[in-house]
Amino acid sequence: MVDAQLSLLQGAQAYVTEIFNRRVDARFHFHNLQHTQQVVRAAEELAAHYRLNDEDRTVLLLAAWFHDTGFSGGRAEDHEKESVRIATEYLQSVQASPDLVQRVSSCIQATRMPQSPITLVEKIMCDADLWHLGTDEFKVMNDKLRTEQEAYFKKPFLKKEWRQRNIEFLENHQYFTDYAQQRLEPKKQEWLRQLHKKQGGKEIPMTPKIEISPYSFNGEKKPVPPADDKAAKAAQKETERGIQTVFRNTSQNHLELSAMADNKANIMISVNAIIISIMFSVLLGRLEYYPHLAIPTLLLALVSLGAIIFAVLATRPSITGGTFSEDDIRSKRANLLFFGNFYKMGLDEYNWGMNELLKDREFMYSSMIKDIYFLGVVLAKKYRYLRISYTIFMFGLILAVIAFGVATYLAG
């Protein structure tokens, strides 16, 4: 590693240490400097195993140092976003390259629950963040986390409830690197078996609570309705069904209108193509005998050509760039429901993007709304060109017939 990279990491370490010592609330017993140092050590072990180059290793260790600095704002919710802001400000202050800033930000964002890494460096970062799940430190760290959340939310957790949270989390968690799967997964499964044994093999009904997992503060701070509230569940299900019906009917209507527009354009193209072919095969050969029909014939040809041009424009496809970036997905800007936004992407990137879409209800609905909106924009363009085409044909045909009549009258 070159001196500049070492200096950057040393400066980041000192800066982050200062943040935790002075700005992070003492009630964060788990997300503190000790946890950050453990994550850095785990990241270094994984980086050494995978023999990361100096640039990737720098990105990884910077992300490891900054990934929990967002707790300095006093809020646990969306702390990854605040951590990205702090890391970005620091790296920009030391003239780090935009590419380095973006990669560090992506690594930090990947640790947001549920974790969503793409690159090897991001997978290493996610595994390092939850390294303790597969080590002997699990119980100690888990007790710290419980103390932290009880202090933060100002409510105690029953042992069985907290145990059930841990069971659900461990069952849903996965390590992303082969090294972590081989080294840590067996121990994690052992902790899971012990929790199940203490729980008696039964799932404990969760009391109305804040929607959070044991290792995440990203849930909404609102009470969950009791499990036996059938009326509320039925109402929610009915609302979801209504939303789905609206999206389905709107999309279907747009597609039917688009098909109608294409059919109208095809009719206009066919009719005017026949008119032009007749003129070239019949009238042009006889203009030397009927020179007075030259201008009306030219007028009719221009009318048909104009109508065809706008009818073709109405059906002419428009394709976008075909790519999306990781930042587009994380910031929920990309619409993966339209092929034009992903056809140049690889299957792995598209699969990751769709998984992010499907597990985020807000993102999914937002994408469906965007899809319907842009279908409407395309429809408006189609029908605008169609209207111009039909207008040219209608009035142009009237003028051409009048021109033929006037020319014949004057010649007679």
Q: What is the CATH number of the domain that holds 133?
A: 1.10.3210.10
Q: Which range has highest mean pLDDT (291-305, 324-338, 390-404)?
A: 390-404
Examine the domain organization and report whether 125 and 260 are in the same domain. Answer: no
Last residue of a domain, one of 153, 175, 199: 199
pLDDT digits (tens, 9 = 90+) for 126-152: 999 898 888 888 888 888 888 888 888
CA atoms of 176 and 133, how far apart (whole Å): 13
CA atoms of 183 and 96, how far apart (whole Å): 34
Residue that is written with structure tokens 């109402």 in the block: 235
Examine the domain organization and report whether 52 and 122 are in the same domain. Answer: yes
Examine the domain organization and report whether 322 and 389 are in the same domain. Answer: yes
| Residue 61 contacts residue 107 (beta carbons within 8 Å) | no
Residue that is written with structure tokens 């690159």 in the block: 119
Whether residue 88 lies inside any domain: the answer is yes
**What pLDDT, on a 0 to 100 scale, did the predictor assign at position 213?**
57
Residue 370 burial by CB count (10 A; 0-12/13-18/19+): exposed, middle or buried? middle
Overall number of domains in the chain: 2
Whether residue 194 lies inside any domain: the answer is yes
pLDDT digits (tens, 9 = 90+) for 151-188: 888 888 888 888 888 888 888 888 888 889 888 888 88
**What pLDDT, on a 0 to 100 scale, did the predictor assign at position 221?**
42
Q: Which range has highest mean pLDDT (36-50, 155-169, 352-366)?
A: 36-50
| Region 380-397 average pLDDT | 92
Q: Which domain holds residue 97?
A: 3-199
The most distant pair of C-alpha atoms in the chain lies apart, rounded to whole Å, by 109
Last residue of a domain, one of 152, 180, 199: 199
| Residue 386 contacts residue 310 (beta carbons within 8 Å) | yes
Examine the domain organization and report whether 247 and 189 are in the same domain. Answer: no
